[in-house]
Structure 1
Amino acid sequence: MSAVPLETARAYDLEFRFPAGDTAVGASLRDYGEFARVILDFLVDHADEAGALLDVGANIGAISLPFAHRRPGWKVLAIEAHAELADILEANAAANGLANLSVVRAAAGAESGVTEFPAVPLVGERNFGDIGFDSVAEVMRPVPMVTLDAISTRDVRLVKIDVEGFEPQVLAGAAALIAARRAVWLVEATIQHPEATAEVIRTFQAAGYEVCWFFAPFATPANGRAAPETPGRGDSNIVALPPGTGEQWGLTRVAGPDQQRPGGIDAYPYLARYGYRPG
């Protein structure tokens, strides 16, 4: 980690170190004091009772750290395959005294074993949040691969997955966790990976979940620091709710795997609380 140029940001009453050239996660934490706050708030709102959160593709901890801070009675497993990002994540957790957060240095996939993951250098300017199995790198590094079923416990109540199109493979290793229908899932589902998105939707609908669209801006107009230069920049996701989940966010239901993600603000009424207006 010492070779990676780092910056520090103050956000959510926590200190975050991040790669100095990061144009997404780190830049948003530094400039606006938040990154994907909507995801964080959604997870916190669904964490009333004691439980555990699995954060798959945790990066530097922009979601898992403030969640662990706001829900100290919860356990957080932050899973990150990129070795240097995992270093930063672990250092951030320690620096903020978050003893309820554990870092899993591995990729999540369909089976346990060892895989090769792109060792993308954390230098230069780019979005280091989009590093995944398809990233271009001169070096591939062997990393452990784990299944969510193998590392899960009965108290897992929330699962967040952001792995750049590898989501179906992660779900393939979580058949028992999905079938238990105890957890609320928030899974990235971008237009860049339409086949992966369709497979994610199909998997949860076949298992009896209610599947909804969810959009999370990187920075919102209500951040309290500055107006975002691109308030529409963010991550597209789906939320999978097990039967009987009390839902107060007014989410828009997904009709089926072939439905295109709605682009208008009207499909995400919860964004009004963050300063967005229809039209």
Structure 2
Amino acid sequence: MAYATTEDGYRIYVRPTDPRALGLIANKGRIIRGSLELWRLALGLHEWQTVIDIGVNYGEMLVGADIPEGVELIGFEPNTSLHKVLRKTLETRGITIDLRAQAVADKPGAARFAVDRTWSGTSSLYDERHDGSARWQLRDVEVTTLDEVLGGSGRSFCVKVDVEGFEREVVDGAARSLADTAHWALMLEIEHMDRGYLAELARTRDVFVKEKDSVALRRVPGGRVAVEELLDNPALHRQDCVVLSPGLSAAQPWEP
């Protein structure tokens, strides 16, 4: 099997016909450094009971972080063609995971999933953006929600969400868990997120982005114009944000 080697010497096994795999090989097992740094920061904010990776892909965000010992670890990757190499990667790293082929959204059921043949990382639930070309391989997948997964347990949870523009659906499907759990963190990719939704999220939740050269968090203001201005700042990591429960948010030193 082909593999990328991380800076720490871990192997990430890949499918060599996938251009994203070649990117991982060339960049020592990562695509965007700031995303991994923010994920590590989120994992360190609390002694989590459950950690969930939605959109595992090749597992680089799990291999590159220290997953707390004894934590319940769940991964979602509907692109089952990656599962063989992913399982080998995690077994080699000593990571035990409950790997599921479901997609995660706002309601349970079934849906079409579009696998991107040209870059596995942009695979997602099917919508009007998918043009019907040979780029996309369509599959039927089961869909679940974070509320279903967490089951009202009250266990603290930290979740990484990389779903190529379906972040709102994932958050909506976690409404009960966000309301009923004391400590939680959601890391959301914002590159494909509608800025209006990000502003709406920031008005109702505690949303932060990370400074590029430090572990300091900068709070995202409500209001679309303010969000646009903040994300124009090149000193910030603008690929992802982290949404924190009120108790965790109050404990963070942040810049308004």
Output the TM-score relative to the length of structure 2.
0.74
> Aligned equivalents of 2:25 and 2:11: distance in 1?
10
> What's 1:264 paired with?
233
Give 1:210's aligned residue: 206
Tell me, yes or no, if the aligned pair for 2:210 and 2:216 is still in contact at 8 Å.
no
Q: Counterparts of 1:42 and 1:24 in 2: how far apart (Å)?
A: 25
Q: Which residue of 1 aligns with 2:189?
A: 188
State how far apart, in whole Å, the 2-side matches of 1:114 and 1:82 are: 15
| Partner in structure 2 of residue 90 of structure 1 | 87
Q: Deviations over 1:4-36 (max 9, x none)?
A: xx5212224422111224444652354334443
Distance apart, 1:200 and its partner CA? 4.4
In 1, are the aligned partners of 2:55 and 2:161 still within 8 Å (CA)? yes
> What amino acid does structure 1 have at the position aligned with 2:160?
K
* Superposition misfits of 4+ residues, deviation over 6 angstroms: none
Q: Given the superposition, is the C-alpha separation of residues 250 and 32 from structure 1 closer, same or farther in structure 2, using an over 3 Å criterion?
A: same
RMSD: 2.8
> How many angstroms apart in 2 are the aligned matches of 1:201 and 1:57?
24
Q: For structure 1, which runs of at least 5 residues remain unmatched after alignment? A: 1-5, 221-247, 269-279
2:140 aligns with 142
1:8 corresponds to: 3
The letter for the 1-side match of 2:54 is: V
Unmatched segments (≥5 aa) in structure 2: 238-256
The answer as to 2:61 corresponding to 1:63 is yes
Q: How many residue pairs were aligned?
A: 221
Is 1:249 the equivalent of 2:215? yes
- Matches of 1:66 and 1:43, distance apart in 2: 13
8 Å contact from structure 1 (residues 64, 78) kept in 2: no
Checking the alignment, whether the CA contact within 8 Å between 1:8 and 1:30 is kept in structure 2 is no
Q: TM-score, normalised by structure 1?
A: 0.68
Question: Distance between the aligned counterparts of 2:210 and 2:222, measured in 1?
Answer: 15
Residue 179 in 1 paired to residue 179 in 2?
A: yes
Q: Which whole-Å deviations, capped at 9, do the CAs of 1:151-170 have from their partners, x for residues lacking one?
A: 01432321111111011111
Q: Structure 2: how far apart are the matches of 1:59 and 1:257?
A: 33
Contact map agreement 2:116 2:122 (CA 8 A) in 1? no
CA distance in structure 1 between the partners assigned to 2:202 and 2:233 by the alignment: 24
Check whether the contact 1:53–1:157 (CA below 8 A) recurs between aligned residues: yes
Mapping 1:209-248, distance limit 5 Å: 209-214=205-210
Report the counterpart of residue 226 of structure 1 in structure 2.
none
- 2:50/2:72 contact within 8 Å kept: yes
* Residues 24-65 of structure 1 deviation map (CA, whole Å, 9 limit, x = unaligned): 465235433444331332133224x24111111111111123
Question: Contact 1:112/1:145 (CA < 8 Å) preserved in 2?
Answer: yes
Q: Contact 2:5–2:28 (CA<8 Å) still a contact in 1?
A: no
Query: What is aligned with 1:160?
Result: 160
2:121 aligned residue: 129
Q: Which amino acid is 1:44 matched to?
A: L
Change (3 A) 1:177 1:75: same
